[in-house]
Amino acid sequence: MLNAADLDTLFLTFRVASLATLLLLLLGTPLAWKLARSRSRWKGVINSIVALPLVLPPTVLGFYLLVLMGPAGLVGKFTQWLGIGTLPFSFGGLVVASVLYSLPFVVQPLQNAFVAMGEAPLEAAATLGAGPLDRFFSVALPLAKPGFLTAGVLGFTHTVGEFGVVLMVGGNIPDKTRVVSVQIYNHVEALEYGQAHWLAGGLLIFSFLVLLLLYNSQQTQALTQSLK
């Protein structure tokens, strides 16, 4: 069974994932919109930077975030100047690392959704007198709703399952930075396979059910649109 420490790590993990997903959607939406509509020669460079976490080893990203946010890093010096200290080995550091590591899982579905809707709906709204902001909020966002669902689900579940980045940036501090993936590692290291099974199995079932609901929702939406 899950003990008190396991429940604490689950609660902390879902707190980090919820806040990170909210920030990802807020930051990722304008970025995805810009990338979907941009014809700049820098578009490929920005797309590559956004997608880096897909191919970069988590420990590499975690290491450079640790250096950047540490006392001698640019971000670390700035946060110290603000009077909030440094971000590594803190809840805030976990959130920042999670946002950067899960960024492509949110930006790419949104970008694809914005591209898929085409120019016709926006051009039609423009002929009716809608301004850029009105076209974005009244036309683009509703049409991209499936993309937002996919982005939110993938961003949240990916953040829940992070290990390398959060271990490098957050460490293994009980009730502060110890998330569920790190707790599973602790159980395995202590040969507590029974406890590890409870947490690992729970995450396995959770991830499967979330993805099943997502794909069923996409299939239902596709069927509904084909019947219209």
Local confidence pLDDT in tens for the 228 residues of the chain: 888 999 999 999 999 999 999 999 999 999 999 999 988 888 999 999 999 999 999 999 999 999 999 999 999 999 999 999 999 999 999 999 999 999 999 999 999 999 998 888 888 888 888 888 888 999 999 999 989 999 999 999 999 989 999 999 999 999 899 999 999 999 999 999 999 999 999 999 999 999 898 888 878 776 666 665
The two tokens of residue 180 are: 């569920």
Give CA–CA dist 24/94, Å, rounded. Answer: 14
Nearest to 26 by CA among 126, 116, 95: 95
0.85 cut: is pTM over it?
Answer: yes
What's the DSSP call for residue 144?
A: T
Nearest to 36 by CA among 138, 122, 112: 112
